[in-house]
Amino acid sequence: MSSGRKGLKGYRPLPLLLFLVLLSRLSPAADIPYAWTGVERVVAVADLHGDYDSFVFILAHPEVGLVDGDLHWVGGKTHLVQLGDILDRGTGARKIFDRLMRLEKEAAAAGGMVHVLLGNHEEMNITGIALDYPDYVGVEQFVSFLPDDFREAKEAEYIKTLPPEERKRAEQDSLDVAVDEGLASYWRRIIARKDPEARRAYVLGFNATYGDWLIKKNTVIKINDVVYVHGGISEAFSKWPIREINAVMRSELEFFQAMMRSPQKVGRPFKPKIVYEPDSPLWFRGLGTKSERAAQAEIDRTLANLEARAMVVGHTLRFPGGSSTVVDRRNVARFQDKVWIMDTGISGSYGGVPSALIYERGEFRVWGETEEAAFQRSGIKPPAPRPLTPKEMADFLRTAAVTGRGPGPGGRTDAWKLTLESQGVVLPALFKYIDRRRPDPLADSYRYDLAAYALDKYLRLGYVPPIVERQVDEVPGGLQAFVGNAMSEADRKEKHIAPEDPEYFEKAMADLLVFQNLVYDDCRNEKDTLISRDDGKIYRVDFSEAFAPIKDDVPHCTIRKCSRLLYRKLQAWDDKTVAGYLGRYLNGEEVAALNARRQLVVRLIRMQIKVAGEANVLF
């Protein structure tokens, strides 16, 4: 689901990437230090996403103690590591950059250091693709990085549209998108229609003021025997020297900058080795998603390659917003305290908790708490409302008012988590808006989720939560019921939790496997199989890459059993009816492949019956 890759479309491979690396070594940036020893105290702060107030709250908190009341450095020889993702979602990214720039100088004068590491959102803004995602670059961030002459010219155009009295007032007073809703709406329209002139101005303005500064920062650093990086180092990248990772990242980002500044002068074909790679140090999520039991040996090998005892990262949200007002070691430490994942949703956009990881005299200590005391519950639990039927839920999704919006589970496909309200019913929902359909080689679209739900209804299975087409803030997408109070199948296995109803669970998973073969969905991804804690019901979410035009079964997803009811439905399958159900979401090749897979699935079940006997296959 590499939505970031759409910024690379059309580029051809460069066989001489080493040439770029060598060039980078000739530049002063290549000599930037990336390793330090003998440091007694390190404070690591993860993803800020534009929340300036939370950032200064962390720095000034007595347990962190890096700035005084006037926000000047008082941390002495402490090293502050900001783990990336300063940008997007919030409004204060530029203020955070300015504060860090000042603290860099003050810390250095006191014998300390400020390390700003690159995150994937820094990468996306330097290269410009952050603007492809409507929830990333907000109005205030967009305007804050525009060149003054471009911003002033556009605001002059806006002023001309106002009534005489308002125009006179606007010409006399300075305009501010933070308080002028009319101006904010004007800029939102410019962003929403992806005005090429405005997009170019933003990217060039950002790079001129902060991109050049960021490119001189590191992707990976090592302090004492601890590695710090935004996403994490996979085992494959752990075999690269840290110096090489930093050098290649710089050279690739410099290439993108040159291409945007003078596209006519850049004729060299280019395929990056790190930028936008799904498992690059900026994007890798394996440290947060892999089973501790299964991956411990891999983590040990990775750290051995890096000659480190631990790794500190952000990027992968480990602390759900609103779940508590404090963070402790159990929330963020993994793999026997060898990996520390410090993305606790610090930004108000996530509703998480401000936090920091403090390394002092060889020991790690987690600090994290909100500014307000925890809300005291009454202890009285109201009766749960009757759940909506699928039809009622679909109607609710179509008509309910959107009363709140925040980020969803994350990832480059991304989603908005909305709060919907209608006639006293308040429910969460997920809104997907990425629509990159085949023949795009990196297909990722909410329309495949809609197709999966349509097929689920046709077969009357009930695995896919209701999803409807809808526009939210003039953005078209798919709005899907949110499965709350659920655990993933991956978590169930890792924690060795037995199903409440083993017989139902086994049969439901067998039919789900049949469905996954039909839609060509990877059954090995068990994070998207959800088990309701309320009633044990199984759901499957995220089909945004499904329905590949492949007329074969899914690798590693062999069908062993099937319910008699589903088998009868597969035998009675009508190609034209299915095309009518799904044709509005799939192209002809995808529909043809689906129909071919149905025939294959029926043959596979018949073969299993012949080998094992009907009683051992159908239930």
pLDDT digits (tens, 9 = 90+) for 99-145: 999 999 999 999 999 999 999 999 999 999 999 887 899 999 999 99
Last residue of a domain, one of 301, 333, 368: 368
Question: Does the residue 107 lie in any domain?
Answer: yes
Domains identified in the chain, total number:
3
Phi/psi region, residue 26 (left: phi>0; alpha: psi -120 to 50; beta: rest), is: alpha
Is 161 exposed, middle or buried, given 0-12, 13-18 or 19+ CB atoms closer than 10 A?
A: exposed
Predicted pLDDT of residue 30 = 58
CA–CA separation, 86 vs 90, rounded Å? 9
Same domain, residue pair 126 and 168 = no
Q: Which residues pair with 82 in a beta bridge?
A: 45, 116
pLDDT of residue 412 exceeding 60, the answer is no
pLDDT of residue 217 exceeding 50, the answer is yes
Same domain, residue pair 471 and 500 = yes
Same domain, residue pair 160 and 258 = no
Domain of residue 426, CATH code: 1.10.510
Question: Does the residue 354 lie in any domain?
Answer: yes
Same domain, residue pair 457 and 599 = yes
71 compared with 271, residue with greater pLDDT? 71
Question: Does the residue 382 lie in any domain?
Answer: no
How high is the mean pLDDT of the chain? 87
Question: Does the residue 373 lie in any domain?
Answer: no
pLDDT of residue 587 exceeding 90, the answer is yes
Same domain, residue pair 215 and 149 = no
Kindly report whether the global pTM for this prediction surpasses the value 0.85: no
Is residue 481 very low, low, confident or very high in pLDDT (cuts 50, 70, 90)? Answer: very high
Same domain, residue pair 171 and 25 = no
Same domain, residue pair 423 and 488 = yes
What are the residues whose beta carbons fall under 8 Å from the beta carbon of 538, sequence distance 6 or more? 463, 505, 508, 509, 512, 529, 530, 531, 532
Q: Which residues pair with 475 in a beta bridge?
A: 472
What are the residues whose beta carbons fall under 8 Å from the beta carbon of 601, sequence distance 6 or more? 514, 517, 518, 553, 559, 570
**Helical (H) or strand (E) element with 470:** strand 467-472
Predicted pLDDT of residue 111 = 97
Question: Does the residue 378 lie in any domain?
Answer: no
Is residue 413 very low, low, confident or very high in pLDDT (cuts 50, 70, 90)? Answer: low
Same domain, residue pair 69 and 26 = yes
pLDDT of residue 5 exceeding 60, the answer is no
Same domain, residue pair 418 and 510 = yes
- R_g over Cα of the chain: 26
pLDDT above 90 as % of the chain: 64
Domain of residue 123, CATH code: 3.60.21.10
Question: Does the residue 375 lie in any domain?
Answer: no
Query: Residue 178: which domain range?
Result: 142-196
Provide the CA 473 distance to its chain's centre, in angstroms.
Answer: 20
The per-residue pLDDT for range 86-107, each reduced to its tens digit, is 999 888 999 999 999 999 999 9
Mean pLDDT of 430-458: 93
Question: Does the residue 61 lie in any domain?
Answer: yes
Question: Does the residue 398 lie in any domain?
Answer: yes
Amino acid at 164: P
Same domain, residue pair 559 and 474 = yes
pLDDT of residue 6 exceeding 90, the answer is no
Same domain, residue pair 485 and 602 = yes
Same domain, residue pair 268 and 170 = no
